[in-house]
Each structure stands twice: as structure tokens, then as C-alpha cells.
């Protein structure tokens, strides 16, 4: 197998490359990444010399086609995405450009260059919110934010290219993912880097929303299982059964760092109507491929806390970057400052 992995200078993509490098039969890995704000070469430093790096965007058809041909690619896995809901509430054209149009480019290039398979990494957020029960792969798509709508658009193109052209494509829908190298804008890494700096953390509303958490190593292994054993034209949920309200996750982080509740500030919910109350997915389909999650939530979350505590050299340049500061101030308001 000769792989091209897009977005591997980011969080889940980098863990997927680590996983793939340890598998038999992988002859080469090309990483294509635009190095936009959440992609960092430092995230790839432990495997940089084992992959071929191409700098560019998935929307660039000429670049993608050339990269596929130059390296005799057989399989393409797409992790490249704009992935933060809150940013999509501020402005969303980049989301459609990358998450929808970019996927169309990859599908066309997969077909034109005769690849054996493309895998599109998607998200449980395409289903919208569920109060009781769980989403199966047959549940309707009812995305609630520009981010999740742009991901749903990418997925629908996968379906259409399979039906129209028999382009060999599979889709995974991942749950909320946590672990090392997570760009500090999502709940867990954002709160960790703030707490580690002694700063307050902004919990939306009362923190009652429920998310289903999966460790990033399990997510990467799930994507690998679908890539190697899934069926073309199919969608696979990749989740674990760790449903937790946000405030419980935050309590865990505080306890693990020896801090108390005084660092939590409940703020008016900036997502307003677009804040999904609960995600939950059925995963029997992916489990039928022989995959199952290996990392218990408490153990994985503890390891994540320790990783952030021990790897300030990775996150410090990110939180000191002017664009990062400007997003945090712009979204949460200048009062977030050092003390919320
Ligand atoms: O500052 C915060 N305060 C807060 O209370 C942030 C950033 C988040 N939250 C809440 C909002 C959500 O209920 O925490 C919960 C998780 O938020 P995010 O980490 O932003 O994730 P979510 O919106 O649930 O989406 C995630 O899961 C699906 C990822 O961001 C997506 O990329 C993925 O597709």
C-alpha cells in the first residue's frame, strides 16, 4: 500500500500516520498538508523523516494529482479539515472550501488516477443532536452548524461519486476525539493549556451538554480498520461509549491537576441555538471489522493531562501566536484576557 494522507500535520491525521507506520505492507506515506493554523510541522517531528511531505491545499487539483502520480499512490485518506464549530460561527467560507469543495477535488483525483481507495474522515456532528438513543449509519443527516454542514456536504459528495462513478470511497464518522497533539481550541486541550497557565476556563452555560469521547489512538486504529477492511460506498461510525457531560470532563481535568472549581467560569452559551445537546453513536458496524476501542476513558484522559503538562514546548508557541490570541480574544471577548 502506498498512502497519501492529507492533514497529517494536524491532530488525528498525525496519529493515523503513527499507526500506519507500524503496519505491515505500508510501502510509503506521503503527507499533504496546507499548514494552516492548526497544522504544525512540530506535530510531525517524531515521524517527519519517515514520510514524504508535500505542502499544499486539497483544493489544488493539479498539486493533488501530481502528488498522487509522483508517488504511485494506491490509497488516499483525507483528514484535512476546518474543524472548529466556534470558528465556523465567526466566518465559514473556508469551511465550505476545505470540507466540501476540497473533498470533491480529492474524489475527482482518486477516480482520474485510478486509486484503489479513498477514505473520507467525517464526524458524528453531521447527524445533529440526539436526546435519547444513538445514531446509526442510517440516521438522517441534520447538521446544525456551518462546520458540520460543510462536513455533511463532503460526505454527500462521496456518496454521489460512489453511485455515479463507482469511485472507491468509504467514510468514517468519528466521535469527539481527545489526546496528545490536540490543537488548543477544543474543550479538552483549550482548558488544559489555560489551567496549566493558571488561567480561568470558559464553560458554556452550565456544562450540561453530553459528548461521546474516543481516544485519538483508538480513532486512528478505527480509520485504519475501515481503510483496510471496509466496503466501498459505506459509512462507518467510529466512536467509544464514553458519554460525559462537559462539566464532568472539566472536573476530571481540575482534579488531575490538583486545582479547584474557582478556575471555572460559566459563561452565556456563545453557540446559542446551534449548541448540540448530546452525541451518541452505535458502533456495531465498525466493530464487525474486528476493531474495538482499547483505551479506557479515565486512563486516556489522565495520559492526556500528563502529556500537556510535559509538553509545554509543543503548545507554548501556539498559544503565543498572534492569530491564536486574536481568535481567543475575538470569540470570547477581551475580558477573557488572563483572568476571564
Ligand atoms: O471553551 C469552550 N467551552 C465549552 O464549554 C469550548 C471550546 C467548548 N465548550 C463545550 C462545547 C461543547 O459542548 O465543550 C463541548 C465540546 O466542544 P468542542 O471541543 O469544541 O467540540 P464539539 O463542538 O463537540 O465538536 C467536536 O466533535 C466533533 C470537534 O470539535 C469536531 O471537530 C468534531 O467533528
For the stretch 137-185, pLDDT in tens is 999 999 999 999 999 999 999 999 999 999 999 999 999 999 999 999 9
**pLDDT, position 258:** 97
How does residue 268 score in pLDDT terms, banded at 50, 70 and 90?
A: very high
**pLDDT, position 185:** 97
Q: How far, in Å, is the centroid of ligand 1 from the Cα of 71?
A: 37
Q: Where in the chain is the domain with CATH 3.90.25.10?
A: 187-211+242-273+296-328
Closest CA to 241 of 173, 276, 293: 293
Residue 203 backbone zone (phi > 0: left; psi -120 to 50: alpha; other: beta): beta
Phi, psi angles (nearest 5°) of residue 306: -65, -35
216 C-beta closer than 6 A to ligand 1:
no
308 C-beta closer than 6 A to ligand 1:
no
3 state SS of 75 = strand
User: Cβ-count burial of 53 within 10 angstroms (0-12 exposed, 13-18 middle, 19+ buried)?
Assistant: middle
Q: Pick the residue whose CA is nearest to atom 31 on ligand 1.
A: 83
Round to whole Å and give the CA distance between 74 and 2.
5
150 C-beta closer than 6 A to ligand 1:
no
**pLDDT, position 334:** 73
**pLDDT, position 86:** 94
Can 243 be counted among the known catalytic residues?
no
* Position in ligand 1 atom list of the atom nearest CA 151: 34
CATH class of 187-211+242-273+296-328: alpha beta
Can 124 be counted among the known catalytic residues?
yes
**pLDDT, position 214:** 98
Residue matched to cell numbers 456518496:
159
Averaged over 8-15, what is the pLDDT?
A: 98
202 C-beta closer than 6 A to ligand 1:
yes
How does residue 274 score in pLDDT terms, banded at 50, 70 and 90?
A: confident
Q: How many CB atoms lie within 10 A of CB 262?
A: 8
Asked if residue 340 has pLDDT above 60, the reply is no
**pLDDT, position 335:** 65
Tens digit of each residue's pLDDT (9 = 90 or more) over 16-38: 999 999 999 999 999 999 999 99
2-178+215-238 is classed CATH 3.20.20.60: no
Asked if residue 83 has pLDDT above 80, the reply is yes
Residue ranges with strand state E in 92-178: 117-123, 169-174, 176-178
Q: Where in the chain is the domain with CATH 3.40.50.720?
A: 2-178+215-238
Asked if residue 337 has pLDDT above 80, the reply is no
Amino acid at each position: 500500500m502506498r498512502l497519501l494522507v492529507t492533514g497529517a500535520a494536524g491532530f488525528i491525521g498525525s496519529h493515523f500516520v503513527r499507526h500506519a507506520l507500524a503496519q505491515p505492507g505500508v510501502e510509503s506515506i506521503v503527507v499533504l498538508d496546507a499548514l494552516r493554523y492548526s497544522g504544525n510541522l512540530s506535530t510531525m517531528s517524531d515521524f517527519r523523516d519517515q514520510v514524504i511531505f508535500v505542502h499544499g491545499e486539497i483544493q489544488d487539483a493539479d498539486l493533488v494529482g501530481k502528488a498522487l502520480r509522483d508517488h504511485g499512490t494506491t490509497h488516499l485518506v483525507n483528514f484535512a479539515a476546518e474543524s472548529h464549530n466556534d470558528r465556523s460561527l465567526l466566518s465559514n467560507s473556508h469551511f465550505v472550501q476545505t470540507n466540501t469543495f476540497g473533498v470533491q477535488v480529492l474524489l475527482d483525483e482518486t477516480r482520474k488516477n485510478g486509486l484503489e481507495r479513498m477514505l473520507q474522515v467525517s464526524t458524528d456532528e453531521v447527524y445533529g443532536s440526539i436526546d435519547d438513543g444513538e445514531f446509526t449509519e442510517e440516521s438522517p443527516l441534520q447538521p446544525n452548524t456551518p462546520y458540520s454542514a460543510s462536513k455533511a456536504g463532503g460526505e454527500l459528495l462521496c456518496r454521489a461519486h460512489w453511485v455515479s462513478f463507482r469511485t472507491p470511497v468509504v467514510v468514517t464518522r468519528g466521535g469527539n476525539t481527545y489526546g496528545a497533539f490536540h490543537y488548543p481550541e477544543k474543550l479538552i486541550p483549550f482548558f488544559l493549556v489555560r489551567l496549566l497557565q493558571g488561567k480561568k476556563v470558559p464553560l458554556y452555560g452550565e456544562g450540561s451538554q453530553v459528548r461521546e469521547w474516543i481516544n485519538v489512538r483508538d480513532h486512528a486504529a478505527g480509520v485504519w480498520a475501515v481503510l483496510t477492511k471496509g466496503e466501498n460506498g459505506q459509512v462507518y461510525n467510529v466512536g467509544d461509549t464514553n458519554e460525559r457531560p462537559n462539566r464532568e470532563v472539566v472536573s476530571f481535568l481540575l482534579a488531575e491537576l490538583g486545582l479547584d472549581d474557582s478556575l471555572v467560569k460559566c459563561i452565556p452559551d456563545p453557540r446559542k441555538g446551534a449548541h448540540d445537546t448530546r452525541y451518541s453513536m452505535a458502533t456495531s458496524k465498525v466493530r464487525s471489522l474486528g476493531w474495538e476501542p482499547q483505551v479506557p476513558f479515565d486512563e486516556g484522559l489522565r495520559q492526556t493531562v500528563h502529556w500537556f503538562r510535559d509538553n509545554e514546548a509543543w503548545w507554548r508557541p501556539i498559544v503565543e501566536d498572534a492569530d491564536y490570541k486574536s481568535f481567543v480574544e475575538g470569540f470570547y471577548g477581551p475580558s477573557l484576557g488572563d483572568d476571564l
